Amino acid sequence: MQYIDYNEGKIRGSFDFPIEFYHIDSQHPQYAMPYHWHVEYEIIRILEGTFIISLDEKEFRAEQGDIIFINSGTLHAGIPENCIYECIVFDMKMLMNKDSVCQKYIKEIMSHAINIKEYFPEGLTELHRTAWQLFDVLDRKSSGYQLITQGCLYQLLGNILENGDYVTDSLQTQQNHRRILQLKQALEVIESSYSSVITLEQLSKAAGMSPKYFCRFFQEMTHKSPIDYLNYYRIERACYQLLNTDTSITDISFNCGFNDLSYFIKAFKKYKGITPAKYRKFNFTYLTI
């Protein structure tokens, strides 16, 4: 499961069934979830351990049995701790049946007139039972699973609306959206120019702030300094190249914006806990088992 681009444009599933299922454990090459967003909706269930997830300006500590719902366009990231988790990413338009009475509700969700609550702690509720069935069906993919999947999604959204587990747009949410847009603009500079020199002035200008205020703003939003996050993103890109190309480690370090190989190795060990060479060898073995 790759989270390479902040604005993730990957096609989910197929044209007529746009939904994907992912199972993630500690052996997965992309175990941690760096900041990204996508136009699709996402549901996460925690099977084991703890998952600390950031959603726009909110942060939750999700535990085994919890469900997380990620609305379209939400900037999100996650740090797993001894965790196994699963994700379903889907295009809400798959539920837009013409002339259906359900169309009104789906339109309200897609237009953000209704913003679904993000965190549903473990409980023997109808919502959790439906969510568990949805994940299990997509994992097995037995005959007719597409029908059950679509039915589960309708039932899940119906449970959410019935229980009032949503908020309507307000002045506060509009202000939050503006702050998220400013952060996304800075992240897009990192995404497009990570292989080159990026200055604090470039990032702050993209966000429409002074460098001093931008540093404080960025730290509040991501819990990292701009430079620390830039290096973190560069290491994520390096990981992708290590697993998907035969490019030498030296060339990868330069491709990802590091001008010094020793500094690249030091930064890689800081974020991944091992050297680039060991990372490539270990994960290549894992992927080919």
Distance CA 3, CA 15 (A): 21
Go through the chain and tell me how many residues it has. Answer: 289
- pLDDT class for 288, splitting at 50, 70, 90? very low
CB 46 within 8 A of CB 60: no
Across the range 275-287, mean pLDDT stands at 74
Asked whether residue 10 is domain-assigned, the answer is no
Asked whether residue 11 is domain-assigned, the answer is no
Question: Do 159 and 218 fall within a single domain?
Answer: no
Highest mean pLDDT among 179-188, 213-222, 245-254: 245-254
Full-prediction pTM beyond 0.85? no
> CATH number of the domain that 67 lies in?
2.60.120.280
The residue from 150, 168, 186 where one domain ends is: 168
Domain that holds residue 206: 172-288
Which pair of structure tokens corresponds to residue 10? 């990957």
Distance CA 264, CA 155 (A): 49
Q: Which residues contact 94 (CB under 8 A, 6 or more apart)?
A: 17, 18, 19, 150, 153
The residue from 168, 195, 215 where one domain ends is: 168
Q: What does the pLDDT look like over 43-83, one tens digit per residue?
A: 999 999 999 999 988 899 999 999 999 998 888 999 999 99
Domain count along the chain: 2
Distance CA 28, CA 226 (A): 27
pLDDT at 284 exceeding the cut of 60: no
Question: Do 27 and 160 fall within a single domain?
Answer: yes
pLDDT at 99 exceeding the cut of 70: no
Across the range 261-277, mean pLDDT stands at 92
pLDDT of residue 170: 58
CA 196 centroid distance within chain: 25
Match 């049995």 to its residue by tokens: 65
